[in-house]
């Protein structure tokens, strides 16, 4: 089952100075042979957060972040998943699943993972609920 890396996992994988780099790298070494994916949302998030001085201890320029993203995409097993799930479809009609603004993107990524027969890989323990059982892997 292909793994859709959420933005935090992608950032941790891409930057050695990230607090979770070792955990992300270990997971990637163990699991990437089954395939891993990015989407427009995760790629944009990677560049945006990587180049934000408020969020990264060592930030970079957008151009450098894009170059790092391109290097990650060249690693074996990568697939790019188009974002072809409308938000309304993504929550499956269950508006209660998006109970806070912080869950909008997360629930959409879960819907994309389900759409492509994959799973969302994340550090975010709040996503391991019954609604996403089998579609979310926590690191």
Q: What is the pLDDT along the chain (139 residues), one digit of tens a residue?
A: 999 999 999 999 999 999 999 999 999 999 999 999 999 999 999 999 999 877 767 778 999 999 999 999 999 999 999 998 887 555 555 666 666 667 778 888 988 998 999 999 999 988 876 455 688 999 9
124 annotated ligand binder: no
Radius of gyration of the chain (CA): 14
Q: Which helix (H) or strand (E) holds 26?
A: helix 21-31
Q: For residue 108, which of 122, 98, 121, 96 has the smallest C-alpha distance?
A: 98
106 annotated ligand binder: yes
Q: What is the pTM of this model?
A: 0.89
When the candidates are 3.40.50.1010, 3.40.50.9100, 3.10.20.30, 3.20.20.70, the CATH number that belongs to 3-138 is 3.40.50.1010
Domain boundaries, the chain: 3-138
For the range 20-24, what are the long-range contacts, defined as Cβ-Cβ under 8 Å and sequence gap of 24 or more? 20/123, 20/139, 23/123, 23/139, 24/139
């Amino acid at each position: 089952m292909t793994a859709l890396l959420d933005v935090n996992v992608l950032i941790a994988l891409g930057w050695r100075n990230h607090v979770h780099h070792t955990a992300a790298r270990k997971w990637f070494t163990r699991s990437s042979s089954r395939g891993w994916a990015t989407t427009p949302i995760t790629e944009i998030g990677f560049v945006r957060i990587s180049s934000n001085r408020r969020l990264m201890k060592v930030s970079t320029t957008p151009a450098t972040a894009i170059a790092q993203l391109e290097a990650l995409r060249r690693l074996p097993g990568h697939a790019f998943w188009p974002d072809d799930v409308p938000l309304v479809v993504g929550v499956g009609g269950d508006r209660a699943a998006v109970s806070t603004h912080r869950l909008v993107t997360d629930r959409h990524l879960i819907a994309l993972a389900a759409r492509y027969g994959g799973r969302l890989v994340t550090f975010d323990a709040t996503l391991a609920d019954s609604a996403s059982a089998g579609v979310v892997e926590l690191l």
